A and B are shown apart, each in its own frame.
Chain A
Amino acid sequence: MALIVDIAVTHIAGRGRQTLVAIVGVAVGVGFSIAMAALMQGGQDDFVRQLVDTMPHVDITDEQRTARRQPAEDYFETVAISGLRPRDDRRGIINPTAATSWLESWVPGRFAASLKTQGVIRYSSREIGAAIIGVEPERESGVSPIVGKFVEGSFSALAAGGNNVLIGNTMASRLGAGFGDTITAVSSEGLTRNFKIAGLFHTGTTARDEGEAYVLLKNAQILSARPNAINEIRIKLDDPNRAPAVARRAEAELGYKAVAWQEANESILEALVVRNVIMYTVVGAIMLVAGFGIYNIISTITHEKARDIAIMKSLGFPESDMRRLFLLEGLVIGAAGSALGWLLGFSMIYALSLIRFEIAATGQEMTRLPIAWSLTHYIIASAFALGSAAVAGYLPARRAARLNPVDIVRGAT
């Protein structure tokens, strides 16, 4: 084998410029693939992180996945019941203290119960429909998407006064209200209550900045005339990846719909998969092109070295050695290109990571490109490169190995 390596090296070294071109071809392919993968993965991670940050990892609401069975259905299996008007459900999570203390006992993370009710916020003569969310400030701070996103005031201001409210800055400007103004909340039950704006937040999520008003839980319960009621438990896990398992367990035990963030964003996550498929198709195409370069050089070598192949075969090298020889030459070029490509890819990623730019829309933030540093990208790009090198080397190698030495020896004499 060492002999085959020696011969392969002399063949490659004997044609420096062409070899260099082929190696650079592979390197550029590998380098760009790595850089592209880092950017795409970075963008995706960034996106998913925002997704995971802004929404609860598991959201338990007072809904069921199927309509509640009527008591009669439990008693009379074969009886079909029609025309029956189901009893009005008293909405809300039944027995909230038992539910929360059970969750407390095992959920690896933080959670907060809240009561969300639809209502209207009124200021002077303007009205805006809003979700009025009643929260317990200490618990809520562990799961809330608005903590730390305040333009004026702060989240802790909610607990400071009995009738404080936190609203988004967009809602405030649409109402024409400002920090410290008193607004009126009207619930769907028709009850009204005045609140003082103790904080204005800006999360970047329009629906939230425009349509959510945070008040103390007891205020929300009063507004909706449902003392002690809650209708949502939001969970933030230490490890967001465990959300589906936690959701399954909570749903099985509590009987309420528990949605993991992965389920809530299924279509987005699917779109990310499609994006990755597209990306690796492009990587494959780049490597195919790099493969042509390798094919070209190995083909040329096998043609130019036809005489040497005949010599070696006449000396007693079997066909398998000849195949191995040229396959090895392809792989050496692939490996060298790969190594150079790693360097190139790393440099490009590093250069990209230094770029800082301003997002025009918000103006105030300087951002860097989202970049994922992952060894996997390097390995995948190399695997593609070596795979294409193997194919590009093997095809001419197989042809060369089959070459009949007699034809060549005879041709020369």
Chain B
Amino acid sequence: MSALIETERLTRILPETVPVTLVKDVTLTINDNEFVAVTGPSGSGKSSLLYLLGLLDRPTGGTLRIGGRDSEPMNERERAQTRLSTLGFVFQFHFLLPEFTARENVEIPMRKLGRLARPVMRERAGELLSSLGLGEHLDKRPDQLSGGQRQRVAVARSLANDPPLILADEPTGSLDSKSSEQVFTILQNLVRERGKTVVAVTHDLDMAARMDRRIHMVDGKIS
């Protein structure tokens, strides 16, 4: 098993007048094809850690290697390109573009990457959505979908460019228990059947228990 992400004393401190420590000295390794839970009380820095791992935020200390590559010297463009091709984000709230249909939303990262022909993208977006049980809703816009359906569209979108790593921040946090279970199963299948790595923040200890590994955070540190 090779390391997808390796961090060494990763630290993020907000430079306010009274500096706020979000993440402190986090050293961890995330391997290929793992299903990792990040748990901890609210405000413990779970989201902050995920943003750092996803190159959305820059650490103020320590190192982060993603796919064997040091993130420190990457410029804004390279970080964006890495997000586009090797990472998929799923947030607690759906975060879809409201004017576009489910299928168009899934197509957007593919169009940005531009590796496939348009008809192929369209087909692939349809397949991804169908595989998540949304075959009926391809041409609906987000406001015509339920919370659980939107979250599944978001999962489909995170898979658009077939990235090895999915980062999910409380993906079931705003869903009812039935939808939660559905989304959880989907994420689980991504690891079990498609060989992806999923790092998911969750409050649900039962769910965390069903994952491969748990990273517990308290006050920005792993405990």
Contact = CB atoms under 8 A, between A and B. Distances in A.
Interface of A: 2-3, 7, 10-11, 14, 307-308, 310-321, 404-406, 409-410, 412-413
Contacts of B51: 406, 409-410
B93 A318 contact: no
Given A10-B100, A314-B54, A409 B81 contact: no
Contacts of B28: none
A10 B112 CA distance: 17
Residue from A7, A307, A316, A412 with most neighbouring chain B CB atoms (10 Å)? A316
Contacts of B93: 412-413
A318 B81 contact: yes
A400 to B, nearest CB: 15
Contacts of A310: 95
B111 A307 contact: no
Contacts of B173: 413
B13 interface: no
20 contacts: A2-B111, A3-B108, A7-B97, A310-B95, A311-B97, A314-B83, A314-B95, A315-B84, A315-B108, A316-B84, A316-B113, A317-B84, A317-B112, A318-B81, A319-B76, A406-B57, A409-B51, A410-B51, A412-B92, A412-B93
A307 B95 contact: yes
Nearest to A313: B80
What 8 A-B pairs come out closest when comparing CB atoms?
A: A316-B84, A316-B83, A318-B80, A10-B99, A3-B111, A318-B77, A406-B57, A413-B92
A256 B109 CA distance: 79
Given A316-B85, A409-B91, 17 more contacts: A3-B111, A3-B112, A307-B95, A310-B95, A311-B95, A312-B97, A315-B89, A315-B157, A316-B81, A316-B82, A316-B112, A404-B57, A406-B51, A412-B95, A413-B91, A413-B170, A413-B173
- The A interface is mostly helix, strand or loop, or mixed, namely helix
B96 interface: yes
A410 B47 contact: yes
Residue from A2, A312, A315, A409 with most neighbouring chain B CB atoms (10 Å)? A315
A171 to B, nearest CB: 79
A319 B173 CA distance: 30
A317 B80 contact: yes
B56 interface: yes
**Size class of the B contact interface (CB-based, 8 Å):** 20 to 34
A409 B157 CA distance: 17
Contacts of A312: 97, 108
A409 B56 contact: yes
B34 interface: no
B95 A406 contact: no
Contacts of A14: 99
A14 B99 CA distance: 8
Contacts of A3: 108, 111-112
Contacts of B113: 316
Interface in B69-90: 76-77, 80-85, 87, 89
B169 interface: yes
Residue from B54, B81, B95, B113 with most neighbouring chain A CB atoms (10 Å)? B95
B152 to A, nearest CB: 16
Interface of B: 47, 51, 54, 56-57, 76-77, 80-85, 87, 89, 91-93, 95-100, 108-109, 111-113, 157, 169-170, 173
A311 B83 contact: no
A310 B108 CA distance: 14
A409 B92 CA distance: 9
A307 B142 CA distance: 14
Given A10-B100, A14-B99, A409-B51, A318 B91 contact: no
Nearest to B113: A316
A338 to B, nearest CB: 25
A318 B82 CA distance: 11
Residue from B111, B112, B169 with most neighbouring chain A CB atoms (10 Å)? B112
A243 B200 CA distance: 84
Given A315-B89, A317-B112, A318-B76, A308 B83 contact: no
Given A14-B99, A406-B57, A316 B80 contact: yes
A7 B89 CA distance: 20
A311 B54 contact: no
Nearest to B201: A413
Contacts of A308: 97-98
Given A320-B77, A405-B56, A410-B47, A315 B112 contact: yes
A413 B77 CA distance: 26
Nearest to B93: A412
